[in-house]
Structure 1
């Protein structure tokens, strides 16, 4: 069985652990959230072939700066997270996180992930930011940064409501299976790949939860994505 290693990085308290717990258990951790989430394996079926998606949480605090890179080798895709209601965490994407992962894994694709989008329209959160002359990060602003930093793309979600949650990991799988290739000359032909097929199957589940298997119009409905979760031994 092929394995896809996905490592999640970003400032502390931006919701990385909640993101993983909500995705793998289908529940938001309302009581206790560990500093570093246990590694999980998610089995994903793509076109009848099983893939194991290994999810690795990391601690964003400076205390772990020397230990964190130990989890980077053999990573297939990174999720670089920031909170859409934390401008400082957004700034650190450019100042800290992308430089760190590109230093250790220069050829590994990464997605820029905005978290806590349920707070973007929260009055108390907006008021708190306004006191510091700040505003929530807009999708347009984040998309521009993703382009500037050469991320595969920008995606955003809420671990609380699960809006966009499944899509984050669907896109991570696609990025790992079909990493961006360098631009080729006109004489070279582009090989046929499974991007569109995988994309159709992965997007069939929608955003309502991690395990949906809705059919995609125009796609053979026998080819769907399914998944279950296991602790890594």
Structure 2
């Protein structure tokens, strides 16, 4: 079974993130980037499915030159090869344009299943998997917390707030997984060394037959119009309990409309 995992290179969520004042896009130069943590779960599930079916895992990413680090991390985890779509005209693309690029790139690959994380840790939209499935004319089974593959059938358990659903789909299909699907493996020293010899194919918009006018910031349907730093937190209020602490606490909560 051939499996493709679509991953994203994102700014470190633990860092102090901001926007670039020149175009109001995410500042990717002033913060370290890495493979989106939620995409690691997709890589793990793809590797498990490939191990059961003696298959192969390809990692696909769209992004700047540094996005190769996201591919490299997945290869270190055990993926077999990578594909990196890099083009200056991609900068500022929204979810719709990203789904177009991914769908076109997937059209150059052989696959039975396409895995995604539940969302990226920067945009946190979670709509790209379904958009890609729509463009490819494939079934989309999203937010899976448990995934099993039997032949050409993928079964996904989706846990909601009030119910659990079990959904099956026939390959080829698009699957997204949550952070409850299974702990991602750590790259071993052997895996890190082996990743250096694994092939990574570089593609451009021209290679995919995409006109630059279809992607990028100018084509984006959503844009950041303005931004401002978060205001500093004010000092908390200290209440001295002199036997009436409960009354003061109740009065404080009432003044803030908490009770």
| Smaller-chain TM-score bracket | 0.3 to 0.5
Higher alpha-carbon Rg: 2
More strand by percentage: 2
